[in-house]
Amino acid sequence: MNPSENNSESGEASSIQEASSSSKEDSTIDHIEDDMKRAAARKLIERYFYQLTEGCGNPNCGNIHCVSSGKLKPMTPNEAAGHALKLLSLEAKLCERHPSKMARTSSNKSNITDKDKMNKCTVPSNETVVSESSKDLILSSVKYNSAPVPSLLTEQALYDIIDECEANETYSPLIRTLGEIFSSIENLSKSFVKEPFSPTAPNIPEHSDEVKMNKEELRHLEGEQDKDEDSCAKSSKSAILPVDLPALRRAYNALFKLKTSIFENSLVNALVTLAGNLQMELPTRKETDNHDDIVNVLLIVFEIPALGSGDFLETALPAICRASQWLPVEVQATLARMWAGPGRNTIRNILENLQQLITLRVIVTPFHRDFFIQDENVITSATKLMKILYYANMLAGVLESPALRNVYEISDTMDESLLAVKLNKSITPEDPMARVLGIHVLDCRKPYLPFSEFYNEPLSDAVEMDRDFANFKSELGIFSGKFSFMNYPFILTPATKTMGLYFDNRIRMYSERRISLLQAVSGQPSNPYLRLKVRRDNIIDDALVELEMISMENPNDLKKQLVVEFEGEQGIDEGGVSKEFFQLVIEEIFNPDYAMFTMQNETQTVWFNPTSFEISAQFTLIGIVLGLAIYNNVILAVNFPMVLYRKLMGRKGSFEDLLDWNPVLYNSLKQMLEYAESDFEDVFMQTFSISYQDVFGTVINYDLLDKGDKIPVTQENKYEFVDLYADFLLNKSVEKQFRAFYKGFQMVVDESPLEQLFRPEEIELLICGSKNFDFGELEISTEYDGGYSNDTQIIKDFWSVVHAFSLEDKRKLLQFTTGSDRVPIGGLSRLKLVIAKNGPDSDRLPTAHTCFNVLLLPEYSSKEKLKDRLVKAINYSKGFGML
C-alpha cells in the first residue's frame, strides 16, 4: 500500500463523500437506479474532483475544466466537490489521467483488465458497458463507499470499522466515518457518551485514576437519566450524557495505531469544518441554552493524541482555538470542571499543545509596528483557551476553604474602614470565570501542574509590554476589543510582568509630578518628588517621622518618585542612594535589639514578634518601606516566610503554612493528625491550651477554647485543635502588628495591579529577587565602554577574579556596582552591567555609579593589583564610591 496514495485519498475521499451526499438531490444521480451505473457515476465524480484539484498532469492540457490547463482558479475541496457534480450533469470533458492519480476503490489485489475503458475520456450513458472485472471493482466500491455512515460513533463501533477496513484492505469506510462524525456538532456530541446512569450499577472503572467523587458529584458528571425510552432521540438542545473519557482514550489509542497518513487529512478537514460550525453556532445561542453538546465536542477534540503535531497543530488546533473564543462563561466553567475531574489526565497534554501552538506562531509570524503580537488571533485565542485550563489546573489541585480569604473588620477610624473595603474588593475574584467557579488563585494550595508550566518564555520575550500596558489601561481598548496579556498574567514570566508593573508605577509617578507642577502654576507649594532627608546614625527615627507625617497629611505623596538624601553627604539620588537607604533601613529594622521580629532558627526566616513593645507606627513604616521598594523597583534583603506574602494578598495563614514557617512544629502536628490508634490521648497528652515565650523568655499560656486547659485533644477534635493552633500562631497572635504592616503596604500599592498580576510566590521574587547567582549570565550580558572590550586583558582578569570569589564576596560586588546584593527577577542577565575604563594604571580604587550599574575600573597593570583594589573597594564601600 502506497502511503502517499492513502494520504491523498484521505482528503479526497472525505470531500467526495460530501459531494456524494449532496448529489442525492441532483437529477443526474437520482435517475440511475442500477448499482453498477451509480458506481460508474460516482467514479466519474471522483475523476472530475481529481481533475479540478490535481489536474491530469499534462503541461499542454487545453481542457478548461482541468487545473493543469492553467485556466482554472484554485478551489477548496468543498468547492471542487460541488463543481464536480455540475460537470457530471453537463457531461463535461475528462482528460486522460496519470495512473498514479487513480483513486484506489478496491483491494490492491483486484486485477483491473479494462483500465483503458475506465480511463477513456467519454461519459457513459445509461447503457454503459462494464467489463466483468470492472463490475467487481464497482460493486466493491458501492459496498464500501455507498454504505450509510453512522450518525454517532462509539468505542466498539470504531473497533469494528477498523477491523473491517483491515480485512478488506481499504480504509474508505473509516475515512468517511471520521469525516462525517468529526465535522458535525450534533454527531460528535452524541459520540463516545457514557451509558445511562444507574444507581445500582454505576459505570465507574475499578482501577480508574479519575477523581474520587461523592454521590452528588457523580450524578452531576453522569447527567440526569431521562426515564423515557426515547430520550436518546431528543434534539441536540436537550441535556445529553457526558463523554466516557476512558472509552474515548482507548478508541483513540486503537485509531492512532494505524498509520496517521491514512486518516489525518480527513480528520483535520473535519475538525476545520467543525470549528467553522462552532463559530457560526455559538454566537447565535443564548446563555440560557443547553451547551452540553459543545462541552462534549471540545472534550472529545482535545483528547486527540496528535493535536499538537503536523497538520493538526498547523491547521486544526488554530481553528478550534478561534471557535472557542465564543464560548459563554458558563460553558468555560463547565469545561474547566470537566478537565479538572475526569479529564485531569489530559491537562498536561492540552497545555503542551497550546504552548506549542503559541510558540510556533510567535516564531514564524513577522510582527511589525502595525501588527503586534496582541493582534495575532491564533495566539490570543489560544491564550484565552489556556485560561480555562488554568482554572481547571487549580480545581484539579489541592484547594482550601474560601473562608480563609481575609476580610478585616476595621471600624476604629474612617481611614481604616476604607482600608477594609479595599481589602474586601482586592480579594474578590474579578474574573467572570473565577466568579462562576467560586475560586481564587489564593485558594489553591497546590495546583495539579506547577503554575510555572503555564509560562511561555518565547511569548514573554516577544511581547512589547508598553503596547500591552496601553491596551490594559485603555478604556477605549476594552470596548474595541484590544487584547492585553496582562489580563492573562499566568502566561507571562515574572520578569515580563515586572515590566508591566514598572510602567504602571512610572505613569503614576509622572501623574503625581504633573499635578504638582500644575499646583505650582496656581501659586501653591510644589513638590514633585517624595523627598526624604535622613541621618545615617538615626535612619529609622528620621524615616519614621517623615513618612508618618506624609502618610497623615497627603498619602498620595507616597506614590511620587522617591529621592533620598543623607545628611552631610553630597550626591544626587538617581536611584543608587535610594537603594542604599532601603538596605540600611532593612538592616536596622531586623536588628534583634529592636525585637520587632523574631528569627525562626530552622528556616532562617523572620516573623512578627507577638510580644513586641514597638508602636504600630513602626510596623506601618515597615509596610511602607516594602511597598516603596516595589513601587521604586528596588530589591530588598528580607527573608519572610511565604505565609506573609499570602497574607499580603488577602489570605489568612493556615495549617499548611506552618511547613515553611516552622517545619518541626508542622511535622509534629501532622503526626498527630495521622495517628489513628485508640491510645491517642495517652500518647499526646495535649489539651486546648498552648504556651509560648515573650521577649524576656517568660512562658505565656493561651487557651484556644474557653477553659481549654480542661479540654483534652482527642481523635474526634484533633483537626479543630490543629486549625485553632495554626490560626493563633499565624493570625491572632500577630493581628495588631500585621494590621499596621498591611496598612503601610497598602498605602503605597493600593491602586497598583500588583495583586492582579502576581501570585504570592511571585511577590516574594519581586521583593527579594532571584536566588540564582549565575555570574556566567552576568559576564555574557555585561557591556564595555571607554576603550574596554571583552578581549581586553584586564577584563579577562576581572572575570577570572570574580568567578573565583566566594558567594559572600559576589554579593558584595553586586552591592558595590548596583546598590543591591540581590539578583533581579529573570537573573543577573537583566542587570545590564557596564564596565568603563577609568584611566590608566593607578593606586585608585574602583568606583561605581550604582544608579546606572556602571563600574569605573582603572586599567591596572596586573591581575594581583586588580584583585587587591577590587576586594578593598567592595569591603569598604558604604557611603563611599557609590554615586
CA distance 87 to 108: 29
CATH number of domain containing 540:
3.90.1750.10
DSSP state for residue 314 in the 8-state scheme: I
SS (H, E, C) 455-481: CCHHHHHHCCHHHHHHHHHCHHHHHHC
Sole residue written with cell 514633585? 528
Q: Is residue 413 a part of any domain in this protein? A: no
Same domain (yes/no): 23, 161: no
Question: Which letter, b or e, does each residue of 604-620 get, where b requires 16 or more Cβ atoms within 10 Å of its Cβ?
Answer: ebbbbbbebebeeebbb
- Residue 483, number of CB atoms within 10 A of its CB: 22
Q: Is the pLDDT of residue 96 over 70?
A: no
Q: Is the dihedral of CA 67, 72, 73, 79 positive or negative?
A: negative
Share of the chain above pLDDT 70, in %: 77
What does the pLDDT read at residue 579? 79
600 vs 400, more confident: 400
- Here the CATH number for the domain that contains residue 832 is 3.30.2410.10
Residue that terminates a domain, selected from 305, 332, 359: 305
- Select from 305, 327, 349 the last residue of a domain: 305
What pLDDT is attached to residue 67? 79
Neighbours of 223 (CB within 10 A): 16
Q: Looking at 61, 66, 444, 851, which residue is catalytic?
A: 851
- Whether 140 and 154 map to the same domain: the answer is no
> Higher model confidence: residue 410 or residue 338?
338
851 part of the active site = yes
Same domain, 140 and 171: no
Q: How many domains does the chain have?
A: 5
Under 8 Å between Cβ of 144 and 104: no
At 702, which CATH number?
Answer: 3.30.2160.10
What is the C-alpha separation between 157 and 367, in angstroms, rounded?
47
486 within some domain: no
109-113: long-range pairs with CB below 8 Å, 24+: 109/169, 110/136, 110/137, 110/140, 112/137
- Helix 863-875, helix 807-818: angle, nearest 10: 70
Domain match, 211 and 79 both: no
pLDDT in tens, 288-321: 778 889 999 999 999 999 999 889 999 999 999 9
Residues 184 and 290 in one domain: yes
Cα 882 from chain centre: 41
Query: Do residues 175 and 298 both lie within one domain?
Result: yes
Tell me, yes or no, whether 814 lies in a domain. yes
pLDDT at position 69 over 60? yes
Nearest to 445 by CA among 666, 643, 638, 730: 643
CB 857 within 8 A of CB 838: yes
Average pLDDT over residues 782-796: 89
| Displacement of CA 139 from its chain's centroid (Å) | 54
pLDDT at 483 over 80: yes
Task: Assess whether 704 and 783 both reside in one domain.
Answer: no
DSSP 773-826: --HHHHHHH-EEETT--TTSHHHHHHHHHHHTS-HHHHHHHHHHHHS-SSBPTT
**Position 141 in a domain:** yes
pLDDT band at residue 7 using 50, 70 and 90 as cut-offs: very low
Residue 757 lies in a domain: yes
Q: Are 520 and 526 in contact (CB under 8 A)?
A: yes
Cα distance between residue 385 and residue 380, in whole Å:
9
- Domain check: are 686 and 612 in the same one? no
pLDDT per residue over 116-153, tens digit each? 433 333 333 333 333 444 444 334 444 444 457 788 99
Residues 642 and 662 in one domain: no
Confidence of residue 722 (pLDDT cuts 50, 70, 90): very high
Among 430, 191, 436, 488, residue whose Cα is nearest residue 328: 436
* pLDDT value at 808 more than 80: yes
Higher-pLDDT residue of 108, 86: 86
Task: Quickly count: other Cβ atoms within 10 Å of residue 64's Cβ.
Answer: 11
DSSP letter, residue 303: T
Q: Which domain holds residue 293?
A: 149-224+235-305
Cβ atoms 430, 637 nearer than 8 A: no
The reply to whether 552 falls in a domain is yes
Find where cell 587587591 sits: 868
What pLDDT sits at residue 598? 86
Interatomic CA distance for residues 296 and 305, integer angstroms = 17
Last residue of a domain, one of 768, 785, 818: 768
| 137 and 173 share one domain | no
Lowest mean pLDDT among 257-271, 315-329, 399-413, 782-796: 399-413
Claim to verify: residue 176 and residue 200 sit in the same structural domain: yes
| Residue 92, domain member (yes or no) | yes
**Is 207 a member of any domain?**
yes
| pTM, entire model | 0.73
The half-sphere exposure of 780 on its side-chain side, counting CA atoms within 13 A, is: 8
pLDDT grade for 695, boundaries at 50, 70 and 90:
low
Q: Is the same domain home to 130 and 169?
A: no
